């Protein structure tokens, strides 16, 4: 599979360590014993620089405002890196419709958008490929620990796309949030509303 991914010019496709990292960040890190009594986390990558002071408690903000996930930007991923992620997701939600929030509160329309980048939607089998940039995320691990997410991750893990394709933790997290959480609990950390900071 690595050779095929290289031929398709998939970034990091030939690095087993990258595939392992995506799988770890998608469904395993929050199960580590060191995090057993931790609810919120803030993912900070090496060599990140903040160009302003963070003058409030980001975890308190998330809790006080009933937020599950905080992000700074959305990006489009390479659709050729995940041609079967959305079909596998559809198989899962067909088997477990009880996990999907109703369309009046979820973000499914954002996940399936075909107007902004129609070629992405086509190549990714109906998924827009738009996702929250997980290199910066603040989240409530109780969402990842939920039965809905755990079952979803296990379904994806059995499908093999973390290695046969290059399913990243960013689209996996984004799809799960878009389907299984109220959109109102997803927070854009924006410098214009007083909760943002530049990195």
| Positions marked active-site | 137
Please, how many CA atoms are within 13 Å of residue 144, restricted to the half-sphere of its CB? 24
Give the span between the Cα atoms of 137 and 19, in whole angstroms.
Answer: 19
* Cα distances (Å, whole numbers) of residue 157 to 20, 54, 87: 11, 36, 14
List, as one string, the DSSP characters of 61-103.
Answer: HHHHTT-SEEES-EEE--GGG-TTHHHHHHHHHHH-GGGSPPT
- With CA atoms as reference, report the closest residue to 132 among 154, 155, 110: 110
Q: Report yes or no: 54 and 146 within 8 Å, Cβ to Cβ.
A: no
Please give the distance of CA 117 from its chain centroid, rounded to a whole number. Answer: 19
Cα separation, 6 vs 13, in Å, equals 6
């Amino acid at each position: 599979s690595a050779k095929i991914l290289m031929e398709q010019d998939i970034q990091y496709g030939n690095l087993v360590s990258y595939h392992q990292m995506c799988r770890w960040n998608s469904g395993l890190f929050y199960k580590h014993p060191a995090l057993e009594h931790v609810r919120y986390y803030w993912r900070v990558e090496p060599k990140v620089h903040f160009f302003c002071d963070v003058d409030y408690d980001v975890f308190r903000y998330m809790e006080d405002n009933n937020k599950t996930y905080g992000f700074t930007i959305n990006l489009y991923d390479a659709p050729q890196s995940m041609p079967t992620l959305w079909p596998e997701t559809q198989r899962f939600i067909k088997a477990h419709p009880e996990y999907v929030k109703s369309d009046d509160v979820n973000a499914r329309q954002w996940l399936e958008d075909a107007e902004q980048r129609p070629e992405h939607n086509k190549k990714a089998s109906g998924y827009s490929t738009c996702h929250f940039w997980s290199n910066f995320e603040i989240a409530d691990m109780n969402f990842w620990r939920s039965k809905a997410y755990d079952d979803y991750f296990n379904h994806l893990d059995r499908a093999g796309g973390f290695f046969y394709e290059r399913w990243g933790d960013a689209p996996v997290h984004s799809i799960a949030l878009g389907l299984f959480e109220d959109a109102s609990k997803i927070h854009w950390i924006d410098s214009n509303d007083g909760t943002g900071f530049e990195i």
